[in-house]
Structure 1
Amino acid sequence: MVSEAIEKDEGVPKATLSTFDVVAIIVGIVVGAGIFKTPSLIAANVSDIVEMLALWMIGGALSFVGALCYAELATTYPNAGGDYHYLHRAFGRGVSFLFVWARMTVIQTGSIAFLAFVFGDYASQLVRLGPHSAAIYAGAVVLALTMLNVAGIDPGKSAQNLLTSIEICGLLSVIVAGLILVAPMADGTDAVDTIENGGHSIGLAMVFVLLTYGGWNEAAYVSAEIRGERRIAWALFVSLGLITTLYVLANLAYWRALGLAGMVRSEVVAADLMRRAVGEGGGRLISLIIALSALTSANATVITGARAAYAVGRDYRLFGFLGRWDERAGTPVNALIAQGAVALALVVFGAMTRDGFTTIVEYTAPVFWLFFLLTGVALFVLRVKEKERQRPFTVPLYPVVPLIFCASSAYMLHSSLRYTGIGAVAGVAVLACGLPIFGLARRRA
């Protein structure tokens, strides 16, 4: 088993993270630039404020259901490989290898590059560095955050805690401005004239809602580094409770300040809200806040992303250089460097073809939801295969809760395939490239 290979080696993750550290990582990943960009897209696919808020609460509830499943897996199998480790135990090497291949080449590195570009776009609104300003900022962010975490887990987590605190304060300022500082906007009947009604629009809205909630499962990758078996469960629950509350309040603030029609027409709802509250200076302020939010999410993604590459390096000789844990730094240094190199290559690609970079965001979704679904199925498989295994935390109302998680993941897989078009084809193509790589790695094992 993967765990046996890791446990026999001295260079393994140590329990250095507190519950607060993991909460900061989860909140830092989830509460990123999305909450400042997706509300207008969601508002365009609902009929009224009640429906919109209901979708945000459903998104939080579905995330909480998923967190219950991950809490059982993470406490039962604490391992730096996270989903990779669960899929390996449940389905064997083939599925788990394809997952980590997709994570290294599409899901995680694409997220890092995208977040770096978001930072670059908004940082350029403050200080422009020439015609390729956003790309310069993005490349610098990838390099800086990679080297920060190569230096050690303590600098990485300290920066994450600080950046998350700034991020939450920024979002709270938007909430206060929308709920208290501005007069409420009368939401006229024209609000629904531009909105497409029907089930398909609700499905698209849920894609954006759950995209904005995405990232909480990254806690699985630091489950072997948290002090106390059950603390990973508490970290997930506290994080999602805080995130859901912030998201609902933020959307109430947007609606109160701009109205539903104003949200639909706005491409930068937070900036428009702050302009109403404090004038044009509010636009620059929110640009700084969003840049910091993207930086926070990128740093947290760098922290968790390399752990899966480290785990696959422990299992396959072909990738053995990734499976080295630096005792002094407390991080998988080689995996961090490799991850940074791929993310930097995607930044270069994004700079050359900005339209293609939008496709990067699209092609990650189907691959992500496919493996999310398989992780939910893995919980059922492992309950049967390893029924004698001690489980510090078990999913309540089993099997109903895991079935809800699997059903929602299957629905999101369907929705992402339906609405992403050519991006979905690209994601599947990259995933398929992992098959011959797996064959080569298996022969070298």
Structure 2
Amino acid sequence: MGSEQAQQRGPKRHLPVFQALLVTLGMVITTDILKTAPTVALNVGPEYFYWVWVLGGVCSMVGALCFAEMATAFPHPGGDYHFLRTAYGERLGFVFAWSRFSVMHTGWIALSAFMFADYFNAIVPLGTYGSGLFAGGVIASLVLLNLTGKHIGFITQTVLVALLTVGFLSIAGAGVWLTWRGVEVPVPAVSVAPEQTGMAGFSSAMIFVFLAFGGWSDAATLSAEVRDGRRGMLIAMLGALTVLMSIYLALNWAFVQGLGFAGLAASNAPAVELLNRAFGAPGGVLIVLMVGIAAVASINSTLLVGARTTYAAAQDVPQLQGLGDWDERHGVPRKALLAEGAVALLLVLLGSFTQSGFNTMVEYLTPVYWLFLSLSSVALLILRRRFPDTPRPIKVPLYPLLPLLFFALCLYMLYSSVTAVGYGALLGIGVLLFGVVLLGGLSRWASPSQRAPAA
């Protein structure tokens, strides 16, 4: 009887495949491209501009294939936390869960909130610390919304992603409109020379390309809630990346058509300039609205999946089991959600003091993200060898070539992010190392029967 009750508690397979695809799309689709497209154009030139976006999408799909295999073979609300814990042991699993809780997810939540606040500040001045207060208010509101129940959180995400997709298509439509009218492409008043060329320029460009595609790995946390466990994760992950790559290519085409390649490379706000040329002053209001929708969608999806990782990890650590409670009435990990929101608010406070919240969060989370993505790609090889008889509804083609190629890419991006991001990376790495110290303390406080075995 007790075992049956244990099986009934926790996440249920309630999420339709199409809704899972939209939630996954919400994890990856952001307005980052509105800030990163000029940087990418500046570093690679017109010959390779579209190709680096295709490369970013295809490489992300290779990684998604690896995660889809692990998610369908080992479905779990912890997602890649569960893969890493199973492949490398409980200690590394804990450090990953700590990093996602304190660096990657909460850093991304704060980053998205700061982006919304900065754009809103351009229309309604918020004062010196107003952006931080605005960002904190957005995060707190979405935490409270998700506490009301799983259906509210997922339905909200579906609506937000649909609105954001329409907004991006309107930008692409502005490019079509200007091209159809035959409007002459403006010549930038000041030409901008690339800061880096060759492989250095390519590496810098790919950091920003992958930043725009980032977040697809979080979809693995939905593996225990998607109704069609066999193909649902594959459709959700690859489908979302296919839609996203199509949208990004359309946006970049519109930028080039409406502003010219030199104008795009020299622009600080290409979407604002494009929409102002096509629709006048209301175009700027549309951009702020889009950024707000994108930020809310990104924060909401990150709260949905981040709290599930924290919930899963807390169940495995006796001293943290208070965070491992699942609210059966509302279908959410209530305490984990509250903890996730609290850390994100602390990072907003940090970003407010630096007066550059968005850039601080990019520096803070990027190297840690690529470190664990590289470990996750190798986890596929380990799990294949260790559990050869486990049913795998989805298998990565060209095994082991594709996982090894993705691992090499992750190592390259880890190196590039550490060398290019700056001092903010040290803070993120420092918080990661604090998790190692915390693990040692928890192991020392545990009774012999509770101690996690060495990885």
**Residue 295 of structure 1: aligned partner:** 296
- Normalising by structure 1, what TM-score? 0.95
Describe the SS at the equivalent of 1:225: coil
Q: Given the superposition, is the C-alpha separation of residues 179 and 148 from structure 1 closer, same or farther in structure 2, using an over 3 Å criterion? A: same
Deviates more, 1:210-219 or 1:23-32: 23-32
C-alpha distance in 1, partners of 2:236/2:79?
15
**Residue 422 of structure 1: aligned partner:** 423
**Residue 32 of structure 1: aligned partner:** 30
For the pair 1:141 / 2:138, whether they are aligned, the reply is yes
**Residue 167 of structure 2: aligned partner:** 170
Map Cα deviations across residues 101-120 of structure 1 (whole Å, 9 max, x no partner). 11111111011011111111
**Residue 453 of structure 2: aligned partner:** none
Could you tell me whether the CA contact under 8 Å between 2:174 and 2:254 is conserved in 1?
A: yes
C-alpha distance in 2, partners of 1:425/1:300?
27
Q: Which amino acid aligns with 1:412?
A: M
C-alpha distance in 2, partners of 1:218/1:76?
16
- Normalising by structure 2, what TM-score? 0.93
C-alpha distance in 2, partners of 1:280/1:151?
38
For the pair 1:224 / 2:221, whether they are aligned, the reply is no
Could you tell me whether the CA contact under 8 Å between 1:321 and 1:334 is conserved in 2?
A: yes
Could you tell me whether the CA contact under 8 Å between 1:37 and 1:268 is conserved in 2?
A: yes
C-alpha distance in 2, partners of 1:67/1:39?
23
For the pair 1:385 / 2:404, whether they are aligned, the reply is no
Deviation, 1:348, is: 1.7
**Residue 22 of structure 1: aligned partner:** 20
Aligned counterpart in structure 2 of residue 41 of structure 1, from 39, 42, 48: 39
Aligned counterpart in structure 1 of residue 73 of structure 2, from 65, 72, 76: 76
Describe the SS at the equivalent of 1:234: helix
C-alpha distance in 1, partners of 2:207/2:131?
27
**Residue 409 of structure 1: aligned partner:** 410
Deviates more, 1:410-419 or 1:124-133: 124-133
Map Cα deviations across residues 347-381 of structure 1 (whole Å, 9 max, x no partner). 12222222466232112111100100000000000
Describe the SS at the equivalent of 1:69: helix
C-alpha distance in 1, partners of 2:5/2:421?
41
Q: Given the superposition, is the C-alpha separation of residues 116 and 356 from structure 1 closer, same or farther in structure 2, using an over 3 Å criterion? A: closer
C-alpha distance in 1, partners of 2:97/2:419?
24
Describe the SS at the equivalent of 1:221: helix
**Residue 59 of structure 1: aligned partner:** 56
Describe the SS at the equivalent of 2:76: coil
Map Cα deviations across residues 378-406 of structure 1 (whole Å, 9 max, x no partner). 00000000011111111111111111111
Deviation, 1:436, is: 1.7
**Residue 13 of structure 1: aligned partner:** 11
Q: Given the superposition, is the C-alpha separation of residues 187 and 309 from structure 1 closer, same or farther in structure 2, using an over 3 Å criterion? A: same
Map Cα deviations across residues 296-353 of structure 1 (whole Å, 9 max, x no partner). 1111111111111001111001211111111111110100000000101111222222
Q: Given the superposition, is the C-alpha separation of residues 425 and 136 from structure 1 closer, same or farther in structure 2, using an over 3 Å criterion? A: closer
Give the share of equivalent positions with the same residue, in percent.
40
Q: Which runs of 5+ in 1 are unaligned?
A: none
C-alpha distance in 2, partners of 1:6/1:248?
50
Q: After the TM superposition, which residues 342-353 of structure 1 pair with which residues of structure 2 at under 5 Å, given as runs?
A: 342-353=343-354
**Residue 337 of structure 1: aligned partner:** 338
Q: After the TM superposition, which residues 126-137 of structure 1 pair with which residues of structure 2 at under 5 Å, given as runs?
A: 126-137=123-134
Deviation, 1:426, is: 1.7
Could you tell me whether the CA contact under 8 Å between 1:153 and 1:331 is conserved in 2?
A: yes
Q: Given the superposition, is the C-alpha separation of residues 69 and 191 from structure 1 closer, same or farther in structure 2, using an over 3 Å criterion? A: farther
Map Cα deviations across residues 23-72 of structure 1 (whole Å, 9 max, x no partner). 11121121112121110111110121x30100000000000101110110
For the pair 1:203 / 2:195, whether they are aligned, the reply is no
Q: Which amino acid aligns with 1:117?
A: F
For the pair 1:105 / 2:106, whether they are aligned, the reply is no
Q: Which amino acid aligns with 1:38?
A: T
Q: What RMSD in Å do the two structures reach over aligned CA positions?
A: 2.0
**Residue 236 of structure 1: aligned partner:** 237
**Residue 214 of structure 1: aligned partner:** 214
For the pair 1:368 / 2:369, whether they are aligned, the reply is yes
Q: Given the superposition, is the C-alpha separation of residues 27 and 44 from structure 1 closer, same or farther in structure 2, using an over 3 Å criterion? A: same
Aligned pair count reads: 440
Q: Given the superposition, is the C-alpha separation of residues 117 and 355 from structure 1 closer, same or farther in structure 2, using an over 3 Å criterion? A: closer
Deviation, 1:180, is: 2.5
C-alpha distance in 1, partners of 2:109/2:177?
35
C-alpha distance in 1, partners of 2:312/2:196?
45
Q: Which amino acid aligns with 2:328?
A: E
Could you tell me whether the CA contact under 8 Å between 2:70 and 2:83 is conserved in 1?
A: yes
